[in-house]
């Protein structure tokens, strides 16, 4: 694969822009996984093995990924929208290369796998793999999502039991059940859901006569939000991370 095409596939601009970056000396390539320093390349059409390639563009190291899978620790007061209405978009927290990866459709770059409300924090996945998004969002696949819920009023056994038994929301006569519910403390509820209805956690908690004061998603499938990933930070998902999402 030509180096200019590799850069283009990773979101560094049009092929002409990518060729210009290379010819102007802004691109270096690690010759092997063990290489400590990259080597300058100025020939845009040089053929390289893309899989496993690491390179540096304008001083920033970048690994080649045929498909991008990343996690973001979503901070509060941000919107999961390309066109936010009130708060900044979560996409502004990502480097431009992730936002500009070429897609066959009209929308470029990685997309959020589901959404979190503007005041909800925690684990958010983003990818440019449409099949992955569909699989993670499909109710048929029952991917569990764990939320840490701070509630206004003290929790009791009755509220937890009702969440496990099922509560009726105003737009659906069929009861909605939590896959798991645990009162971690008097005002901390740990809730596991297998689906993602609109404002589901807030509405379920309201249905048992309580109120959500703060909401944080800590886990999706077997993937936990790392303690060292600060709000607003992102990182690539490893092969082990992707496997844990199916666990």
Catalytic sites, residue numbers: 117
Angle between helix axes 200-207 and 157-165 (nearest 10 degrees) is: 120
CA distance 124 to 116: 8
Residues 6+ apart with CB under 8 A from 51: 64, 66
Strand partners, 124: 72
Q: Which residue is it, tokens 């300058």?
A: 40
Radius of gyration for the chain, computed over Cα atoms and rounded to the nearest angstrom: 21
Q: Which residue is it, tokens 């403390």?
A: 185
* Degrees, nearest 5: CA angle 131-137-143: 110
Q: How far apart are the first and last CA of the chain?
A: 35
Q: What is the DSSP code string of 187-222?
A: TEEEEEESS--TTHHHHHHHHTT--EEEEEEEEETT
Rounding to the nearest 10 degrees, give the CA dihedral for residues 64, 61, 9, 245: 50
Q: For residue 2, what are its two tokens?
A: 């030509």
Q: Taking a C-beta distance cutoff of 8 angstroms, is the pair 70, 63 a contact?
A: no
């Amino acid at each position: 694969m030509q180096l200019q095409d590799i850069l283009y596939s990773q979101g560094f601009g049009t092929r002409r822009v990518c060729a210009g970056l290379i010819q102007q000396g802004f691109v270096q390539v690690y010759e092997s996984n063990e290489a400590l320093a990259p080597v300058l390349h100025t020939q845009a059409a040089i053929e390289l093995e893309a899989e496993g390639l690491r390179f540096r563009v304008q001083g920033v190291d970048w690994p080649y990924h045929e498909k991008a899978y990343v996690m973001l620790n979503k901070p509060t007061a941000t919107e999961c929208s390309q066109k936010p209405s009130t708060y900044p978009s979560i996409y502004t927290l990502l480097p431009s290369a992730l936002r500009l990866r070429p897609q066959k459709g009209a929308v470029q770059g990685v997309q959020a796998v589901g959404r979190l409300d503007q005041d909800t924090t925690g684990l958010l996945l983003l990818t440019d793999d449409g099949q992955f998004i569909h699989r993670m969002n499909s109710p048929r696949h029952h991917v569990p999502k764990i939320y840490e819920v701070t509630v206004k009023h003290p929790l009791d056994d009755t509220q937890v039991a009702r969440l496990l038994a099922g509560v009726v929301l105003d737009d659906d006569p069929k009861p909605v059940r939590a896959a798991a519910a645990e009162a971690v403390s008097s005002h901390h509820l740990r809730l596991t859901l297998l689906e993602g209805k609109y404002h589901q956690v807030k509405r379920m908690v309201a249905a048992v006569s309580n109120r959500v004061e703060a909401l944080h998603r800590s886990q999706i499938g077997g993937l936990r939000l790392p303690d060292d990933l600060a709000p607003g930070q992102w990182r690539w998902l490893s092969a082990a991370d992707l496997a844990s999402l199916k666990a």
